[in-house]
Chain A
Amino acid sequence: MGRFRTNRFNPWTNLQKTIGQKKTEAIDGDVQVFKSEHLVNIPNPYEKEKRLCILCKMNIVPDYKNTRMLSQFISRFTGRIYGRHITGLCRHKQDHVEKEIKKSREAGLMPFYFRNPEFSHDPKLFDPDNPFRPHHY
């Protein structure tokens, strides 16, 4: 009757402890023996979920014609492009966004020194005061 067995497999038990116990239990014979492989070869249960940046998650390719989207990555007051530590984009997407913003400005679609007031109240993708990684200043 496996259900009533006293020493059942518990994945949360201390590995060292179970190995130590095994020697004494071997005398009983009836008890199931656990190899250390069972405990070692499981995937890390504490591994964090893989994070994706918002553009990768939504599968968006930045384009210079899409000024509304690009405007979300510049300051409303100074028109400066926010850094990677604030926007929370991956390296490639951040570079791409910066390139497209510059192209857009060159083409006369987007202002240099402010955000288009039409887009002032667009939803915020990030908070410049609480960056993903600390400011360097």
Chain B
Amino acid sequence: MPSYELCLLFKVLPRPEITQCLKRTASKIFETGGFIRRIDNLGTADTPWKISSHDAIHKQASYFIVEFDVPSSALDPFNNYLSRDIDIIKRTIFKVPENIPQPACTLHEELKPPAYRSEVKEMIAIGKRKREKEARKKVQFNTGLDYMPFQR
């Protein structure tokens, strides 16, 4: 089961109703056979733009982040379920990236003058190969003459 992150924007509601909404989504996750890793409350804040959902315009929302694991086949129905919940303004599900080691910084290499950069060297090599290929295609008569004997 891959782990996902759900960014939920709820309507601004009193505390008991928010807990109801969270319980609803949580129980839906448990129904699908998944489990919740954690729930973060990012608080109530102004939305960056006017969001219209379920025939209402919202300028404020309570933000929640839910980290959960569900089978990937259950994700689509779950998203569909959330879309029909009228207390949810917006929801987005992201896959949590696995712990990939960060590659080493290449800034020093990138700040070199173009002629010393490996990517530029590569480009020059590609151009050189292309020119050589075209030169090979060109017909050489090998007559040993410095003029064209067969041209009129």
Contact = CB atoms under 8 A, between A and B. Distances in A.
A90 B105 contact: yes
A108 B111 contact: no
Contact of A116 (B48, B89, B103): B48
Given A64-B94, A107-B92, A52 B49 contact: no
Contacts, number: 58
A52 B107 CA distance: 6
A53 B107 contact: yes
A76 interface: no
B99 to A, nearest CB: 10
Main secondary structure, interface of A, reads: loop
Main secondary structure, interface of B, reads: strand
A89 B92 CA distance: 28
A92 B106 contact: yes
Contacts of B92: 106-108
Interface string B95-132: 00000001111111011000000000000000000000
B102 A108 contact: no
Contacts of A89: 107
B49 A112 contact: yes
A103 B7 CA distance: 10
Interface residues of B, number: 23
B42 interface: yes
Interface in A100-137: 103, 105-112, 116, 132-133
A61 interface: yes
Contacts of A90: 105-107, 110
A56 interface: yes
B102 A65 contact: no
B51 interface: yes
A132 B108 CA distance: 12
Nearest to B105: A56
Contacts of A5: none
B66 interface: no
Contacts of A103: 94
Interface of A: 50-53, 56-57, 61, 64-65, 84, 88-93, 103, 105-112, 116, 132-133
Given A92-B106, A108-B9, 9 more contacts: A51-B108, A51-B111, A61-B102, A64-B94, A90-B110, A92-B103, A108-B47, A108-B92, A110-B48
User: Top 7 closest A-B pairs, CB basis?
Assistant: A111-B48, A56-B105, A107-B7, A107-B92, A90-B107, A53-B107, A52-B105
16 contacts: A50-B108, A51-B111, A52-B105, A65-B42, A88-B107, A89-B107, A92-B106, A103-B94, A107-B7, A107-B90, A108-B9, A108-B90, A109-B7, A109-B48, A112-B48, A116-B48
